[in-house]
Amino acid sequence: MQTCRRELLDRCLIWNERHLRHALAEYERFYNEHRAHQALDQAAPLRAVPDPITEPARLIALNVRRRDRLGGILHEYSHAA
């Protein structure tokens, strides 16, 4: 629960119960599907670590996209196809 408090609740003004439930559900999805966990070798609990990119040509042309969640409090990064 400390992670949720530190990463979400300490940085967000909650207006009412509906807003709290929405924020917690969004954080739960982020935490389980995207956020890297050190104990899991930087994988998320519901997502495996992608294969590393080792080809120099692919590294030079790497295109990373950022998606903000909860108004910019949480950020997801992914490789653009």
The tens digit of pLDDT for each residue in 46-64 reads 777 777 778 888 777 788 8
Confidence of residue 25 (pLDDT cuts 50, 70, 90): very high
The pLDDT, as a whole number, for residue 56 is: 82
Q: Which residue, among 31, 4, 37, 36, has the nearest Cα to 20 in the 3D structure?
A: 4
Give the torsion sign (CA, 7, 13, 17, 18): negative
Q: pTM of the entire structure?
A: 0.67
Residue 72 has pLDDT above 70, yes or no: yes
Q: Which domain holds residue 8?
A: 2-79
With bands split at pLDDT 50, 70 and 90, how would you rate the model's confidence at 20? very high
